[in-house]
Amino acid sequence: MAQRGLRGTLARIAQEFQQRPEQDATWQLEALDAPFAPFAVPCSEMPRVSVIVPIHGKLAYTVACLRSIARHGATAPFEVIVVDDASPDHSAVTLAQIDGLRLLRNERNLGFIGSCNAGAAAARGEYLLFLNNDTQVTPGWLDRLLDCFAEEPGCGIAGSRLAYPDGRLQEAGGLVYADGSAWNYGRFEQRDDPRFLYRRDADYVSGAALMIEATLFHDVGGFDRRYAPAYCEDMDLAFAARAAGRRVIYQPESLVVHCEGISSGLDPFAGVKQCQIANRATFADKWQAALQRQPAPRTPVETAIHHERWPHILIVDALTPDAARDSGSLRLLNIMQLLRELGWRVSFMADNRAATHDEIVQLGRVGAHALCKPWSPSLVTWLRREGATLDAVMLCRHYVAAPNLDLVRRLAPQATVLFDTVDLHFLREQRAAEHTGNNTLARQAELSRHRELALIQACDITLVVSPVEHALLARELPQARIELLSNVHEVYGRGAGFTARSGLVFVGGFNHPPNEDAVRWLVSEIFPRIHAQRPDIALHLIGEIPEAARLSLVTPGVQIHGRVADLTPWMESCRIALAPLRYGAGVKGKVNMAMSHGLPVVATGIAAEGMQLHDGDEILLADDAEGFATAVLRLHDDETLWQHLSERGLDNVREHFSFEAARAALHRVLPLPANTGDNLR
């Protein structure tokens, strides 16, 4: 074990002494040589988080760190505690001039561990965030760590993505091998590689930027003093948290720039740094039993980081989901979040392998690894390498599933294959053909029908979003396994009441033909009837609308907003949501979304299909322009009816389209494999 540990140490030394480029030009870091002038850091009297910064000299780095905190702040209330560990310079005198800072001074040098424990003892926050003084924070540094405790079941510790000042990645969570040796995952890689941009469980996270529940920290005895003055204490704390049944989460959205080695140097055979080797032996001895479950030292890193054997699912869809683009994206992102909560490791690939940085971050937020250009190979190459790790594959939409099903069966034969219809394309196309009288579209619908039914027969499980579609397929293919997994929405609840609201809202982009037809019918035939009687009522159109189409939609009272990042302002300020769809299939996310905010809906029968909605109870329904306009005007001025529909709409989402309903469906469809351990500890 000593030889293997030495090899790892020498490899680390070689890396640390590599020639490094200059500071990344994209960083906006605080200058180390800037003259000191007094400033203030945020300081709450009732902090939720206590930021603890231990220091021993190196004043310039400490000031730069505190300036970055002052610059970026946080939404959550926090305090900053600097523990001066008998600094040999004039740090205490200078730092005393920073307003809002809680400055503690050790009477004698206690080392890193002693200083952290002293800061924790004085902290008032529910959470402790240990932060090295040779770091600089970036926007979201604190709030995104806090998210993990709200969004990750059993989270006890959360750690940041660490990068060098030159822009290279320093750490994306730590890995511990069976001999007690450790490795910083992603070291010297590109910091925006999607491999390092998704939340995941880690063996440990660096104490350079580590958040932990204060009660958990005290329950496990804080940083273990046997590692004094420093090194391996963060690994030990993580193992203690895991032994207490808590998870350690790597959070890539909290990015912290870490100079590394400023306080203790880089030479492992000199100064405090030499404790690294001795403390590793101490760590291995203390956690001997737990280390038996860690990967062997020669295990490749990409394999070792998944050693806990979460079952692995690959999801392939036409495009990378974007919650601001369409309801199908929101549904898929929420499904991925639930899969991870249920103990699954999730990888995602778009059929075109394209993904924007924002889309990669959205996937990472729900714990999904984006496989995209230029970072990942083609599906066939990836499956050749990773197919044996897959327990399930979900292929979305018939035109994505059809060309890839045989490939999946061949390269991942052990995987359960799910076909997610999203909605039955042939049913939507049939209805569009009937609505328009288009014979070409009718022939296309029949072709789609044969393809979709063939896929359903060839796959292990088929997912549909609507009870109507479930019943249709049960009649067509009684031998196939069809499961209902509908839209998934958070129930936000009603914000503003009836009198504080005004106007109508339609949500839907022209990239979906039923939406384009609905908008044109709404603007040309429905809204003119409303505007003639109530010119004070505005109509808000939200969604991707081409410029040429916008010109044809400009009429009095119509406000075209296009695509927006957040629907909440309209969901909380408009009085009625509209869904005048004349054809389509599946379940309509625009209806779910409005009802999840307590916003009443007027819709056509097609728009309400398969949603367990009843006219006059949860919704108002009308299928002709005159009746639709009449229903809108009636609801707009009837507070009692509005209140009733608002309450009943919220009940409908809770019962049929909530996370709880979807979680139960997924648990039924994808139970954890028998060889899976307690992934959530």
Question: From the first residue on, what is the mean pLDDT of each consecutive set of 10 residues in the chain (681 residues)?
Answer: 45 52 76 94 96 95 97 97 93 96 93 95 98 97 98 96 95 95 93 96 96 98 88 94 97 94 50 68 93 92 86 97 87 95 95 96 97 96 96 96 97 97 86 88 89 94 93 94 92 93 94 92 96 96 90 91 91 97 88 96 94 95 97 97 97 92 92 59 41
Amino acid identity of 80?
A: V
Distances (CA, A) of 569 to 55, 217, 303, 540, 574: 45, 40, 44, 12, 8
Domains 2-304 and 498-657 share a fold: no
Tell me the per-residue pLDDT of 353-402, one tens digit each, with 9 for 90 and over: 999 999 999 999 999 999 999 999 999 999 999 999 999 999 999 999 99
Contact between residue 217 and residue 244 where contact means Cβ atoms under 8 Å apart: no
Q: What percent of the chain has pLDDT over 70?
A: 93
Contact between residue 621 and residue 608 where contact means Cβ atoms under 8 Å apart: yes
- Measured in Å, how far apart are the chain's first and last C-alpha atoms? 28
Tell me the per-residue pLDDT of 166-176, one tens digit each, with 9 for 90 and over: 999 999 999 99
Identify the residue whose tokens are 């994206």: 329
467-489: b (≥16 Cβ within 10 Å) or e: bbbbebbeeeeeebebbbbbbbb
Question: How buried is residue 450: exposed, middle or buried, by Cβ count under 10 Å (0-12/13-18/19+)?
Answer: exposed
Taking alpha carbons only, the member of 368, 264, 394, 248 closest to residue 316 is 394
Residues 321 and 360: their CA atoms lie apart, in Å, by: 9
**How confident is the model at residue 580, as a pLDDT?**
97
Distances (CA, A) of 188 to 28, 48, 107, 182: 20, 34, 39, 16
Residues 414 and 195: their CA atoms lie apart, in Å, by: 25
Residues 371 and 347: their CA atoms lie apart, in Å, by: 7
Residues 168 and 605: their CA atoms lie apart, in Å, by: 55
Token pair recorded at residue 432: 């569009």
Residues 74 and 143: their CA atoms lie apart, in Å, by: 6
Q: Are β-strands 127-131 and 102-105 bridged in parallel, bridged antiparallel, or unpaired?
A: unpaired
Tell me the per-residue pLDDT of 14-51, one tens digit each, with 9 for 90 and over: 555 555 556 777 788 999 999 999 999 999 999 999 99
**How confident is the model at residue 21, as a pLDDT?**
52
Contact between residue 316 and residue 637 where contact means Cβ atoms under 8 Å apart: no
Look up the CATH number of domain 312-484.
Answer: 3.40.50.2000
**How confident is the model at residue 4, as a pLDDT?**
42
**675 by DSSP, 3-state: which?**
coil
Q: How is the chain split into domains, by residue range?
A: 2-304, 312-484, 498-657
| 498-657, CATH topology level | Rossmann fold (3.40.50)
> What are the DSSP E strand ranges found in 334-435?
345-350, 368-370, 390-396, 416-420
Residues 327 and 396: their CA atoms lie apart, in Å, by: 14
CA angle 145–148–152, rounded 5-degree value: 170
**How confident is the model at residue 334, as a pLDDT?**
95
**How confident is the model at residue 18, as a pLDDT?**
54
Sign of the torsion angle spanned by Cα atoms 188, 190, 193, 199: positive
Write out the H or E segment, with its range, that includes residue 560. Answer: strand 558-562
Contact between residue 133 and residue 66 where contact means Cβ atoms under 8 Å apart: no
Residues 311 and 321: their CA atoms lie apart, in Å, by: 22
Taking alpha carbons only, the member of 42, 92, 52, 45 closest to residue 72 is 42
**130 by DSSP, 3-state: which?**
strand
Structural class in CATH, domain 2-304: alpha beta
**174 by DSSP, 3-state: which?**
strand
Contact between residue 503 and residue 540 where contact means Cβ atoms under 8 Å apart: yes
Residues 416 and 613: their CA atoms lie apart, in Å, by: 34
Contact between residue 155 and residue 340 where contact means Cβ atoms under 8 Å apart: no
Residues 475 and 378: their CA atoms lie apart, in Å, by: 38
**467 by DSSP, 3-state: which?**
helix
